[in-house]
Structure 1
């Protein structure tokens, strides 16, 4: 992927413009007196850890989130701001990043917009990574056997026949990665009853995503136990549905021998 950019660096911010009017990324090295010329998607960082992703109208920027650096993205005209915000939030959650004060409802992105949006999002992520801001969780040093936060996994017919068991965060279930883009959650799964709350008592974004997935399958659940087999789209959805995420679900699905789904499928 080749991306042509124009860059202007000052003492307090770096402005990165995509050529051909494909939008602007601005890196603010301050949390004071930020004035947005256009509506934008923002990423807030505190001590180099991403703490919040959202969107803001033009004007003086205000938030209750503690941060010391800010990234804003003003996309090209054909990119819907809310859809870009949703994709960046999803990317962060899949990387294990815990976001503060995301009070918005998850946005459903139409299939007609997905291809263009994903291409643009990937370009933005590439630029941010090259400038030292990868959209990955800032983690404490791990043991030698620990895996990267973002790993690639490969589905195989062999894996599709294996039952994996989940016993974590008040939930117990049996699941199979039975098709490339489908997870089968067997009937009788016990779900976490109440979603965890943020420090201020509000629901976090993962909790809201989990509630939305539960609403889609509410006819197959009674007293927080599934009454029928349920098809979900991914390992991430299984975690959100059962226990509102908050952990790496690839490590929570374990076969009868103690081998995790991650060990079975991770691409080295």
Structure 2
């Protein structure tokens, strides 16, 4: 069992099975030859035994192995793990002799669960999800006829006002939605059916619209025509093949 000792300026974790000690310091703690020091900003590993920008370090993890375990070899093996995880700060000069690799690997195997528990496991920085594309209506686009033939549908659409899209009479709708594996309707299909109920007087039993229909957004038009399941900004195209996305995306 790991023993926890709270000191004045750090947390001391005595590792089980005589694996040495792990110390957690807030901010930067000086590196030393008798230890391996990991520098973090939150859960992001910034450096091993050295760090480019000490000002951004939020905590330091100091690994103090037992006397028969060379800290430099621990640093080397952790550096290799960091490189494998795609962390590019790792120093390639921190190499480990072949006869020391197995002992160092065994030590790190025991250490990694503790690092994971502390939120300090070796992993690449999470990639930020790209922001959702923004589109802006403009007067010039109001006169453009966009068409689609996605999933067997046929339709002409005008984005005639900021919150108003006109589906021209004569549009061919997809008759039935694709069901989930359990035979149920998905959320998009349920919403699409609600839209169709609101405009049921404007299309016939062959699912062809008999009057112009006003909808609020590109998403609603896609749901009404073919139950969604695609990016309609890319499906609606002018006579030259330029998409609605090309016309209106904010860059």
Larger CA Rg, structure 1 vs 2: 2
What is the TM-score normalised by the length of structure 2? 0.48
- Indicate the structure with greater strand content: 1
